[in-house]
Every structure is written in C-alpha cells, then in structure tokens.
Structure 1
C-alpha cells in the first residue's frame, strides 16, 4: 500500500480513499496499525471540523434525527461526515451495520459521507478506533463530523471524550424528572433534545422538556458553559422542526467556548485522555503474548482447583508481565533554551 498516495487522496477529499483509510485504522493487525499511524501523521494539521457526539436510548430516533439534521447542514453548504457505531453480537461478533440504509436521502448527497462501524468488544458506546476515524474525516476536509453511539445506557459517555458538543436525544414520556438529575450521561450532555415532538406526542414532549429543563438547573454549574447551557429543547426529526434552532444554539455555544478558551483546552485534555487509553490498550494486548497466555492458563487452572487464591494468582501474573516488559525507558526531555 502506498501510504503517501492514500494520504494525499484522503486530503483531497476522495470518499473511496477515506473509506479505505477508516478500514485501515480499524484493523487490529500490527502492520496495519503501523500504516494507519503513518497515514494520520501525513494528513494536514490545520483542518478542524466540529465534532458532535449523539447518544440516546434505542428507538429514540437517532438515525432519523441524524439524517434530517445532516440534510439541514448540507443545505447550508456544509460537508458532513457521519460515523455510526453499531452494537456487535456477543454470540457471533457480527454487526448489521444498517445505519446507512436508514439514511437514504443523506447518503445520496454529494456533501455527506456515512460510515457504519461495529463496536466489537469496546465499551462506552463507540468503537475503539472511532477517534482516529474522526481525525481522518477532519483531514479529508469535512466541516462537521457526527458521531452516533450504539445508544445503550447512562454510562455510555466515552463519546464525550472525542467530541466538541455532546447531544443527548430523549423520547417523550420516557421517565420521571428524577432521571434528569442522575449522574452519568446526563451531566455530560451539552444539549438535551426531546425528539418526536410532533402529532399526539407533542404534549408529552412539552412536559418532558420542562422536566429536564428544571432538572438541568439543579446540576452543578460547569465552567465551560455560558448562561442557559446545558439546555433542553424539543425537535421533530420526522417533521423537520426545531433543527435550525438547535443548530444555531450549537454554533452559539461553540463560539462562546472558542472565545473563552475552553474549546482548545478541551481538545488538549481529550488528546491526553486518548494517549493514556492507548497505553492501557497496549498493555492489555500484552496478554496475547505466548508467554503470558501460558502463564494465564497455568495460574487459571490452579485457581479453578482451589490451590491458589485469585488475588494471589493475579499478583503472580503481574510479576510475569513485569518480567516480560523489563524496565521502562523514557527519553530525556531536552532543556529549554
């Protein structure tokens, strides 16, 4: 594979090259990981897209909202990339990857790119390499990147560590107002959108919006929020109502954070977070080493027989890994001039 050619084609905005690049970064092969690192390093560094993470429970209408919202952005002259994460089967390991078929209008737009990816075994609502896929979309020149999570529960907040705005979609009459003050995904959201605010559900949507607006006022004020944020508002993806207002509020929040210095500071903190996560992932991958597997099997058998306590076996396993790693080497930092 010609890494330089692939990087140049991605930077030129070629969709096929971008799709191939995302496949490369999602691969677990060691040679592919090395090539993916080279591709990411060769992309332009001066391009910056607005990253919007979207989460919500299954059935809330995430795909319908993303298509309607994406069409609004495309009609405004923006290029939009959608990274949709599908849950993987715990039995077979496969995923349907059907999000693109739900967004048939948006998928036909020249200014839109949709890429479904399996979550595999990664927790947190996103795939392990979604962050790198976002970087590829930024390098390809997209203005907005929408990151759709698998949409499971209150602890799926990893998407907030790779997005500039975290939007939570809720359905009308989905619970009592106590849900709004629960910690977890609720306190991570920058905006709460009550979807399906149309037809017979509109009165219920109004009550739900009022409940969550009141609950948000009870949460501790965050330094990165101006007055009035986070906020709850009603939208209808089906009737395409409230989307322009939601986009205007998102832009206002981002502009305020840029001027106040929170935007760049948040991205810097996110970069450090993913550095630490990559280190943890690399350490866990050491368990696939032949020596480590053999030690795990032997110690696991002794634990199963009752000859060794799990905590004692874990301590011995760590000693084995320490022996494999050897002493850590850190390059000295040069003195400042």
Structure 2
C-alpha cells in the first residue's frame, strides 16, 4: 500500500488542481481502514472552505442497454468544448459473490478520458444501495475543491433504490430507450417522479421515429404526476450520441433549470440553496444511522445474545418482532 502523506499534501495539491493528488485523495476517502478514515476527515475539513458553491452536479441513470457511457462521452465532449472543467464519477456494480468490479468506464470513454479538461474516476458500488458508491458525496467535494465546476455521476442502473442519487445532485437525468418493450409499464414510478428531465437515446437512423413516439408517450405520462412545486415541468427530449443531435439542447435545458432554481425567494435563499441544505442534512442522518448501527453491533456480549435469539427465531420459538424487543432488554 502506498504510504499516506500529511493532510496538507492532499489539501494543497487539491487546491492546485493536481489530478494525481486528487486520485490519491479519492482512494483515501474510499478506504475503510480506520487510519485512512481519520486522515480523510482531516483532508475533507481542510478543503471544505474552498469548495465553490457554484458547481453543478448532474446525476445520470438509465435502463440497461441505454448507452450511458456512450452518451456521457458525447455529452462530456460537448461540455469540455464549452470550456467546462468536467469530472465524471462512474459507479460500477460489484459482484455479490466476489465483491469485485470491472471498473472499465475509462475504456468505454476513450476519447473523453484523454481530454485535458475532463477527469474520469470509476468506483465500485460495493454494498452501497442507490446506484452510487460508498463515498460518492465526499468524492464530489474533492473534485470541486480541485477546480471542477461540473460533476457528472453515472449510476449503476435503474432500480428501486436508484433514487438515492437524487439526494446528492442538482439535476437528475433519466435516459430511456425506445423500442425496448412496454417502457411505461416497466419503469419505476418513483424514479420518474424524481427526474428533472428524460432523454430518449439512440434517436438516429431507423430508430428516430420510434424515439419520437416514445418521447410523446413519456411526455404524456409525466403530465399525470403531481407538480414539483418549483414551476419546473420535466421535459422529454430525444438525442443521439452518434450524430450529436440533442446534446447541446440538453445542456441548455440544464442551464435553464439551474437559473430557475437559483432565483431568490422572499427570504433571500434560492430553491437550489435549500435543496443543497436538505441534502447535507440527509447525508448527516445517513451517516448517523450507520454509526449507531456500527456501535450497536460492537457491544460486549452482543454476539452470543444475538446468536441465541437468532436460533429461537429460526426454530419458530420466537416471533421476529418479539425477538427485537428481547435483544434490546
């Protein structure tokens, strides 16, 4: 294992935009070693005052086969062409048997990975739910401290818990594929309600007409959902990573959304500010629950007591609800 450095090494390197230091800092925060976690906390505390509040965080998810990596490469090249400093955080699913991940997103985004304005970091999902990695939030902060003003998060894929990524981004984009069966029936209602926009990908060649029909179907379906309360009606677009059609329109849409969310309310704060504040609070509560669970299971004598109660539950001698009560006595 590479020897760790003093916190100032990481803090100064991040503020200077050193990508090697950024990669090492991300490795540090992703580590589950107690010594690394203590050092990571010191680094995060040191860079927090230097994280600009103007960055834009975009979560991107989609059904299997929708072409997320191909889309992100085309979208990312458009953004760097506009001079954006872009960080792409990709989450790869981890094997439930071996725990390993392929982490091959850099090879799928070969052109973007060589762009001097782009930084791509793959991370394993591990045992984290919601399509994100264990330390995605911390990784975003490190990237922003290193000078990246736009963060794209590519999640594992659409699932019931995929909505977790919505709690850490400013704009949530859902990619869909036309002609893949009954799309509306197969989609999870919860994730469609959270999406700020839907994009039908691969809208080129013979698939262009089908993509346009799917756009109309989704647009009609979204009108059935209750309004968000911000005045934003999630639109549905078509795009093609192959031809570039719709890519620039999508970025213009995100900019329009951010302008709307940044308008001050009567109290002087914006929807965007309140959204980020609520995200920080949710993050705190999530970590608090994790710490309480960890401390609970490390109590002296709990292992033997837990095994005895589990045996009673397995044998049918004790109802699970009663077992919980006995466990806390």
Q: Is TM (by shorter chain) over 0.5?
A: yes
Q: Distance in 1 between matches of 2:7 and 2:181?
A: 50
Give CA deviations for 1:114-159 in whole Å, capped at 9, x if unaligned: 1111111111111121011111111111010000100032441001
Post-superposition offset of 1:288: 4.4
Q: Distance in 2 between matches of 1:310 and 1:198?
A: 54
Partner of 1:57: 63
Partner of 1:312: 322
Equivalent residue in structure 2 for 1:47, among 49, 52, 57: 52
Q: Distance in 2 between matches of 1:177 and 1:304?
A: 41
Give CA deviations for 1:240-278 in whole Å, capped at 9, x if unaligned: 211101001110110111014111010001000111000
- Alignment: residue pair count: 317
Equivalent residue in structure 2 for 1:14, among 18, 24, 29: 18
Give the superposed CA RMSD: 1.7
Change (3 A) 1:140 1:294: farther
Give CA deviations for 1:266-301 in whole Å, capped at 9, x if unaligned: 000100011100011112222542633333223222
Pairwise mapping of residues 9-158 of structure 1 onto structure 2 (< 5 A)? 9-43=13-47, 44-48=49-53, 49-158=55-164
Post-superposition offset of 1:318: 2.8
Q: Distance in 1 between matches of 2:163 and 2:187?
A: 16
Post-superposition offset of 1:106: 0.5
Partner of 1:302: 312
Partner of 2:177: 171
Change (3 A) 1:181 1:95: closer
Equivalent residue in structure 1 for 2:284, among 275, 278, 281: 275
1:219 and 2:225 aligned: yes
Give CA deviations for 1:3-29 in whole Å, capped at 9, x if unaligned: 112111012111111111111111112
Change (3 A) 1:180 1:254: farther
Give CA deviations for 1:283-334 in whole Å, capped at 9, x if unaligned: 2222542633333223222333444332222222234xxxxxxxxxxxxxxx
Equivalent residue in structure 1 for 2:274, among 265, 271, 282: 265
- For structure 2, the 5+ residue unaligned runs are 265-269
Post-superposition offset of 1:179: 3.9
Farther off after superposition, 32-41 or 56-65: 32-41
1:251 and 2:260 aligned: no
Specify the SS of the correspondent of 2:285. helix
Post-superposition offset of 1:221: 0.8
Partner of 2:208: 202
